[in-house]
Structures are given as C-alpha cells and as structure tokens.
Amino acid sequence: MCSKISKVAIYGRVIHEEFYPYFKQMLHDLNERGVCLTCYRPFYDFLKEKCDVSDVFQAFYDEDVDKDTDVLFSVGGDGTFLDSVMRVKSYGVPVLGINSGRLGFLANIAQEEISQAIRWLCAGEFDVEQRALVKFEMKDNPFAKFNYALNEISILKTERSSLLKVHAYIEGEYLTTYWSDGVIVATPTGSTAYSLSCGGPIVAFGCDNLIITPVSPHNLNMRPLILPGNVKIRLKVESRSGNFMLSADSRMQRMSDNHELFISSSDFKMNVVKMPDHSYYETLRNKLNWGEDKRNKKDRS
C-alpha cells in the first residue's frame, strides 16, 4: 500500500456533457478532503466554458506536472491516458485513469467508481504497478522532446495501394524484411491495443518483452514475434512514395525513407495506480470478453 495523497494533478482534453456531474463530484470529493488540486491549463480553459470549476484549483501547469505531485488523474479515455505519459515523463508520478467515455482499458475507473477510488487514495489504500515504455531514436527525431511510447511505435504506409518494405535487424543481425502495410513494435501494455487488432499476442504487463507485429503482411508465413526486453531493434523502410508514417502512441509524423529507427525498452517505467478491487485479468475478462463462453460462468468462484 502507498501513503495518503495530498496533491493531485488533473489532466484531460475534453469531456462530454453527460460526464460533467461526475467530474464536479470528483473535484468536490477531493476538495472536501483537503487535497491540493492543479490542472492542465488547456483543459482548464475548456472547463471554464463548459463546466463551473471556479475557485477549485490552486495552480496550473502547461507541460510537466510538479515532481511532488502524488497522483495524476487522467480524465477521458485511453487516448488521454496515453497522452498523460508526456505529462509525468520519468518523474515517477503515478497515473490514475478516470474513464469518461466508452471501453477504457487503461482508463479503467468507471464513473460510478470515482468516489470510492478517492476514498481509497486518501486513505493510502492503493498499489502502484509499473509499466514498461518503448524508446525510439533516429536522426531528426520529430518527437525528440519525448521519444518514448507506452503502447507502441508503428511504421505505416502513407498510400493505400502500395506496400512498405521494412528491413528488421535484432542486435545488428538481419531478421527479415516485412512486405506489409506496416510494422508495430509494442510493449506488453500495448499488446492489447493496435498489436492485438493485427493478430499480435497478449503479453501480461509485468513481462519484460518487446513485440514485433506486422500490419497486414503480404506473405502468409509472417507472424508476430516476442523478443526479450533488452534487445535493440533497427528498422529501415523502403516505399514507392518515398515516405512513411511514424506513430508513437497517439502522435503521428510523416517521415522520409532515409530515416532508420532504433528501438529499445525505456530506461524508466511509468507508474499506474491500481485500486484494491481491480486486477489485470479481470480487465482482460471484462473489457475484451476474454474467453466468453456461457460454460465458464459455473467455474467462477
């Protein structure tokens, strides 16, 4: 268990009108317990127009949260949660995902669970899970300010009709050339995201692995590959158009083919708040309908 919280940062982009009452109640519950609240300024600007939040926040931030923040509340969906990584960077501030939208695999605190989650946080009755990130380096890196991703790094084609040729090397040794729409390098956390939709395996977040998953490969004998987390991956792209799309979680940038990508596990991990009544395997079961079969109901205990 962790110590009680006294300072919370709020991060978000937009929230829908039906979530306003839950958001206001969340701020009220935190304020009532004497928690110091800071808010991401662009989100606050949105809230001023849509939701009465005057005299609630003690401070604001534009880029990174203060290093003495106890917890960052990511309010939105999984996309917002992924963006929140850029707010905490390597500071070690734990992130709690408040789901204001639909599925919410990473942002897994539902609307009706917010008040209970705050009670646990203020009592110190929560744990922190560590999630590995993937690091990517390249010449003229468009994401040099934060060259990490929580879910995946993706190389994707920019034109509908042509394939990419992605030459892959592991620790300097040639692995293969992927003739495909793209290649994903995912973390265990990202194994349930884009990689999974492309036929990749689910890897539990506590594992130390990187996963290479081809996107719509042109050869049927090409399969996803699970690698140790300490390897170095080099990717070199060829395309008819002369460029490709580089994606780091929700960030995207068009790049020319003369760029090589060097990928490895990050040298730090992201801390994620875990509530007492939540588990990774429960999330798999409930959010992904894992092994859904009416015969399984009698086996639960």
Q: Which residues are annotated as a binding site for NAD(+)?
A: 78-79, 151-152, 181, 192-197
Residues of the binding site? 78-79, 151-152, 181, 192-197
**Cα-flanking dihedrals φ and ψ of residue 73, to 5°?**
-90, 115
Which positions are annotated as active-site residues?
78
In whole angstroms, give the CA distance from residue 202 to residue 212.
12
Residues 178, 165: Cα–Cα separation, whole Å: 6
57: closest CA among 16, 9, 95, 25? 9
For 213, the token pair is 């998953």
CA separation for the pair 155, 142 (Å, rounded)? 14
Q: Residues 6 or more apart from 77 whose CB is under 8 A from it?
A: 99, 100, 101, 102, 103, 104, 107
Separation in Å, CA 4 to CA 34, 113, 120: 12, 19, 9
Do residues 96 and 74 touch, judged by C-beta distance below 8 A? yes
Q: Which residues pair with 184 in a beta bridge?
A: 154, 213
Within 8 A by CB and 6+ apart from 38, the residues are 7, 8, 9, 10, 57, 58, 59, 60, 61, 65, 66, 69
**What is the spatial order of strands in the sheet that 209-215 belongs to?**
225-228, 209-215, 182-186, 152-156, 243-248, 251-256
Helices and strands per DSSP (H, E), number in the chain: 6, 17
